[in-house]
Structure 1
Amino acid sequence: MNEEWLIYRGVGEPHDGIEALPDPPPWRDFDGGPVGEPGGPADTADGNVTRRLGAHRQAAELHRPEPEELEAINAALYLRRPLLVTGYPGTGKSTLAHAVAHELKLGRVLRWPVVSRTVLQEGLYRYDAIARLQDVQIAASGGPPWGPPAGPPGPAPGAGPGRAAPPVPGIGKYIRLGPLGTALLPTERPRVLLIDELDKSDIDLPNDLLNVLEEGEFALPELERVADTEPEVQVLTDDGAKVTVRGGRVRCRAFPFIILTSNGERDFPAALLRRCIQLKLGQPGEKRLATMVRAHLGEEAARLGADLIREFLSRSQSELVAADQLLNAIYLTHHAAPPTREDLADLLIQRLDRPR
């Protein structure tokens, strides 16, 4: 494969290849602004690199993807399209997001885990209307309900001549952008967003995502209603930083690199599929499993666990098993003496498709 066009090369070492990413196609060119800071702490700040990619990742070169993986990831980068990654549990779907963010120096991965009750607004932003109402009531009463110690009857606190009621904080204090909302903030470099296990959602969420993924923007009605008097409002991001939202709308400039993962438990609407680059991950082979063990547990563990890797591969031909089960088994059996070692491996590598 000609690798000259690749922005993400899967080498595992951070580099500035994102600077070589050409302008987007006209139909995926967004003009949000003004451009803010890239945002988000580095992955190393919260330990995600070591936890997700392995403490020995440099020696193992774990995340050197197959050519079809590299092509799909780079197609998503070039076309500014989400990458829909399908595969069995433990095939490394979520890890791809962390590998791309680490290598291209795109900061912390924004993660939005999906469950059956997840709705679109949770990914965009949260507005705590109850807390705001409580603060308004406290301010109207002249202070917090616990107030000063009881004393002789007199005017209510804050109600006397020359005394103003405590101010009510601005509406921005009660709004926090979610992972998707934070990813769509206007920045020069794209953020990396992981929408994990989309197939766990209810039937509406994939369709609800269509407009946001196509237009790269969303509105905050609570801020649009006060835009005449408060055209600029500071809110919190998913990273915990403060940013300014203007006119009650957020529009991206660099479309985020979005990975949507699915275990293949359901079909998605054609309207979503045509907006995504699709990648299907198969079960890892012996070489990839060995490098995964080497990346997380070191060379000696990979050597001593070779028999467990072969046993895992044999079982994976007829059973649904996950690679993290293999990691657990090798880690624990590395500290156990025979014959307990084999018993522990059987205990930890349980088939996931066992009939109930």
Structure 2
Amino acid sequence: MPEQWEIYRASRLPHDGITRLPEPPPWRRFSGKPPLPPPEPMTDDADIARATTYRPRSRTVQQVNAALYLRRPLLVTGPPGTGKTSLAYAVSYELSLGPVLRWSVSSQTTLRDGLYTYDPLGRLRAAGDQAGQDPDRAEEIGRFLRLGPLGTALLPCDVPRVLLIDELDKSNLDMPNDLLSIFEEGCYEIPELVRASTRKAEVLDASGSRRVPIVDGRVSCRSFPLVIMTSNGEREFPPAFLRRCISVDLGQPTKEELAEIVAAHLPDMVTRSDDIIQRFLTRRSSGELATDQLLNAIYLTNVTGAEDRAALAADMMPYLSPGFPDDPEY
């Protein structure tokens, strides 16, 4: 093993380290076709800012690399505001894996929502406008299909895409087991294309800007995506699901870590933030708070020049959990 085995190093600088990733273990090898070119670089300013201001712990870095080596999904838990979603952007930016494919789930979300969407009414209208054409031709059906974030992540790229499945604990009871099957097989079928009469279709990916070829209605990955699933710890997941994940628990940042986070986001204000950080820590010891509340408080107290900084900061840091009274000091 090389001296520096980590592919993701939390350097916050893009590099080609993904090319050093060794072959997967035999039970996690995939060979989807036809191979697709790598995605375009991440260009959204807000996404890049989120990626470059994130400060992971060393253990988190190690667990990300374990997921990359083993081709296993990451299940990231922690209180609100601890950087669960930012982790996905940080890894994707540093390893030049393109824009993050983000899938936010709810109790109404189904597996198919993440794989693809299909517009049958649009196809019927088009078939009516084009009399004499076979409405079941795959090249025609492909016009009315669009891959979702999960479906796009499983396309046969030579480099892994980063898929963020946000707030998995809000999903329906069947979702973890449905995902487990997809993650184990690394592939899925689109029944509308399987039933079609021709072999190949061009379908929009999740970005809506690129059409990708799908052969025989089946999508199989080549490089298993880095799947980052976030959870607020509001439910338990099945043991079979958990044992196939790399688990990451992001605890609350320490005082020193909070100072680093402030320096990353608000470098010009870090020297004037000690009192607000201490107020945040004091309040956090009595109830749930999120780190972005601290950033809001520091920014506002500095740009407004408020005389009563402590009172304004407290107003920006209400408890997130019910049942906690207002701070009597204010």
**TM-score normalized with structure 2 length:** 0.92
**Structure 1 pair 19/325, CA: closer, same or farther in 2 (3 Å)?**
same
Q: Structure 2: give runs of 5+ residues left out of the alignment.
A: 325-330
Equivalences for 1:50-61 in 2 at 5 Å?
50=49, 52-53=50-51, 57=53
Question: SS at the partner of 1:134?
Answer: helix
Q: Report whether the alignment pairs 1:89 with 2:89.
A: no
The answer as to whether partners of 1:321 and 1:350 remain within 8 angstroms in 2 is yes
1:216 aligned residue (166, 186, 205)? 186
Match of 1:183?
153
- 1: CA distance, partners of 2:97 / 2:159: 7
The one-character-per-residue Cα deviations of 1:95-134 (angstroms, maximum 9, x if unpaired) are 1111111111111110001111111001000011121122
1:13 aligns with 2:2: no
Query: Aligned ranges for residues 248-267 of structure 1 at < 5 Å?
Result: 248-267=217-236
How far apart, in 2, do the equivalents of 1:344 and 1:121 lie?
46
- Between the aligned partners of 1:302 and 1:116, the Cα distance in structure 2 is 40
Q: What's the CA shift for 1:177?
A: 0.3
The corresponding residue for 1:268 is: 237
Is 1:321 the counterpart of 2:289? The answer is yes
The answer as to whether partners of 1:139 and 1:166 remain within 8 angstroms in 2 is no
Report how far residue 3 of structure 1 moved: 6.0
Residue 124 (str. 1) matches residue 127 (str. 2): no
Shift of 1:297: 1.8
Q: Please tell me whether the aligned partners of residues 116 and 146 of structure 2 are also in contact (alpha carbons under 8 angstroms).
A: yes
Report deviation, 1:203.
0.9
1:28 matched to 2:28? The reply is yes
In the other structure, the counterpart of 1:48 is 47
Structure 1 residue 82 displacement after superposition: 0.1
Map 1:74-223 onto structure 2 (within 5 A).
74-140=65-131, 170-223=140-193
Seen in structure 2, the aligned counterparts of structure 1 residues 205 and 166 have a Cα distance that, compared at 3 Å, is: closer
1:283 is paired with a residue whose SS is coil
Of the structure 1 ranges 3-12 and 273-282, higher mean CA displacement relative to structure 2 is found in: 3-12
- Equivalent pair of 1:86/1:264 in contact (CA under 8 Å): yes
Query: What's the CA shift for 1:311?
Result: 1.3
DSSP 3-state at the match of 1:44:
coil
CA distance in structure 2 between the aligned counterparts of 1:121 and 1:306, rounded to whole angstroms:
48
Q: What's the Cα RMSD here? A: 2.0
Once the 2 structures are TM-superposed, how far is the Cα of residue 77 of structure 1 from its aligned partner? 0.4
Deviation per residue, 1:11-49 (Å, 9 max, x gap) = 11111111111000000000111211112x322245411
Structure with the greater alpha carbon radius of gyration: 1
> Which residue identity does 2:193 align to in structure 1?
L
Matched, 1:311 2:310: no
- The gaps in structure 1 that reach 5 residues or longer are 141-163
Pair 1:290-2:259 in alignment: yes
Return closer, same or farther for 1:43/1:127 CA change in 2, 3 Å cut-off. same
Question: Percent identity of the aligned residues?
Answer: 51
Secondary structure, aligned partner of 2:127: helix
What is the DSSP-based 3-state SS (H/G/I as helix, E as strand, rest coil) of the residue aligned with 1:71? helix
Q: Deviations over 1:217-245 (max 9, x none)?
A: 0000000001xx32010000012211000
Cα shift readout 1:245-295 (whole Å, capped 9, x = no counterpart): 000000000000010000000000111101100111100112221221222
Whole-Å separation in 2 of the counterparts to 1:7 and 1:293: 26
TM-score by length of 1: 0.85
Aligned 8 A contact 1:53 1:296 in 2: no
Q: Spell out, residue by residue over 1:128-163, the C-alpha distance to the aligned partner (whole angstroms, 9 max, x if none).
A: 1121122223445xxxxxxxxxxxxxxxxxxxxxxx
CA positional deviation for 1:165 = 8.5
Give me the whole-angstrom Cα distance separating, in 1, the residues matched to 2:87 and 2:100. 11
